[in-house]
Amino acid sequence: MQSESSVRIPVLDPATGAEVASIADANRADVDKAVAAAREAFERGAWAKMVPAEREALIWRLADLIDKHADELAELESIDNGKTKKMAGIVDVPGARNHFRYMAGWATKIEGSTIDISVGAPAGGRVNAFTRREPIGVVAQIIPWNFPLVMAAWKLGPALAAGCTCVLKPAEQTPLTALRLGELIMEAGFPAGVVNILTGYGETVGAALVTHPGVDKIAFTGSTLVGKMINKAATDSLKRVSLELGGKSPVVVLPDADLDTVIRGAAGAIFFNAGQVCAAGSRLYVHRKLFDRVVEGVGAAAQSIRLGPGLDPGTQMGPLVSREQQERVMGYIQSGRSEGASIVAGGEAPSHPGYYVQPTVIADVKGSMRVVQEEIFGPVVVAQRFDDLDEVARLANDTPYGLSASIWSNDLTAVHRLVPKIKAGTVWVNTHGPVDANMPFGGFKQSGLGREHGRVGIEMYTELKSVCMFV
C-alpha cells in the first residue's frame, strides 16, 4: 500500500554522507492501515487457513529468494549501513537465509502435550486434558540499524513459523534491505497483510505501534533505554513483550591462554562490524601475567585495520552508521581521556568524508568510568588487569548489563568455576560471538527479556492454552 504520508526521510551513505534514497515517514494512519491488514490476515485471510506445511514452504521459498539475490542484498546492506560488502556477503545475507530456513522447519513441529489430571469425571466418564500452542496474533517488530537484514530475519522467521502476522519497522537509518525483503516476501507468495513494513522514526511510528490496541505483542531489539520505554508503555494493555537490548560484554583472559589466539579473538570481538554489535567484547580483562602483551597485540591489530568505504574490496572496516553515532563514540573516547585513561591505539575520527572512527584501545581505566560502565557501540575496547577468578567475576558483573561474555583458557577446571559466576545470557569459551539459530540468545539484567532462536524463540510467539474435556 502507498503511504498516507507525503513526508520523506533521507537515507544517507555512511561512507560519504551523501543522500542515496528517501523513504516515507509513516504517520498514524499508516500504522492503523498496517495493523488492520495484519489483523485481517491473521483472523480471516488465506494465512489463517493455511496448514503448517504451507507456511513452512513459503518461508523456505523466501530463503531461496534471498539466496538468489544475495549479491544485491549485500551491496544494499553495505550502502545503507556502512559495513563492508564482503562481510555482508559472508555474514549478513547467509545469516538471514539460514535463519529463515531453520525457522521454516519449526512451522510443522509446534506441539502441545497431554496431561493426566486429578480432577474427577462424572460417573462413567473420563477426563482428557491437553495443551495447545497457538499463535499470539499481530506482532509489531522493531529492529535496529546494525544488522538490518539479519534482524528482520530474526524477528520475522519465528513469528511466521508460529502463524502470526507482522508489522515490521526497520530503523530509519537503514531501511533499504527491509524494503527489498518486502518485495521478496510478495514474490514468494505470502498472502496480503501477513507482513507489513513501515518506515519512519521510532518516536512516532514505533511509539504508535507499541500503544496500538490492535497489536498483541512487541518484539524489539535496540538500546536498553528505549527497551525500558517500550516495556513501560506496553503495560497498560499488558501486551506481550520481548526485548533484546544492550550489552557491555567482558572478554576474560586467564593466565594459561594462548597469546596469539587471544589477541586475534579479542580484536575480532570488538572490531567486527565496527563494534556496532550488542554482544561486542568491549571490556577486556586480562590476567596480570599476560596483560601488557595482550594489550600491545590488540593495539597493533587495531592499527593495522584499513578503514574505507564498504564497497571497496580492500576495506577491512567501514564507517559507523551515522554522524550521530560517530559523535557519540568520539564523545566516549574524549570522556575516557578526560578521566585519566590512556589511549593505546586509535582514538581519532579521520578528517575525510564519512562517519569513521579509528579502532581504539583504552587502558588505565577504572570501573567507575563511563567508558567502562556504558555501552559505546563502536570500535572501542577498555582493558583492565585482574589477579584471580573471584576478582574477575566481580569485575565482569559490575555493569547493569548481562548479555554475553567470553573466557579464554585451556584450564577446564578454571573455566567451569568461572562460567556460573558470570551473569550473562551467553558465555563463549575460546571464541567470542558465534550465534546460531538453534542456540537461545538473550540477556540477564538490563540486557533484555526473553530469548530468541531455537524452541524458546518460537514459543515467544505463541500463547499456551490448556484444554480440559469431560467425555
Told to judge if 172 belongs to the known catalytic residues of this protein, a careful annotator would answer no
Taking the C-alpha atoms of residue 292 and residue 385, their distance in angstroms, rounded to an integer, is 9
Taking the C-alpha atoms of residue 112 and residue 436, their distance in angstroms, rounded to an integer, is 25
Out of 75, 77, 164, 278, the active site residue is: 278
Q: What is the DSSP string of 113-163?
A: -EE---PPPSTT--EEEEEEEEE--EEEEE--SSSHHHHHHHHHHHHHHHT
Q: For 180-189, which contacts have Cβ atoms below 8 Å and span 24 or more sequence positions?
A: 180/69, 180/72, 180/73, 180/76, 181/66, 181/149, 181/152, 184/62, 184/65, 184/66, 184/69, 185/62, 187/65, 188/58, 188/61, 188/62, 188/65, 189/58, 189/61
Contact, 404 vs 380, CB < 8 A?
no
Told to judge if 468 belongs to the known catalytic residues of this protein, a careful annotator would answer no
Residue 442 CB: number of other CB atoms within 10 A? 23
> What's the CA dihedral at 117, 120, 124, 127 to 10 degrees?
-30
Out of 77, 244, 452, 459, the active site residue is: 244
* Residues annotated catalytic, as ranges: 244, 278
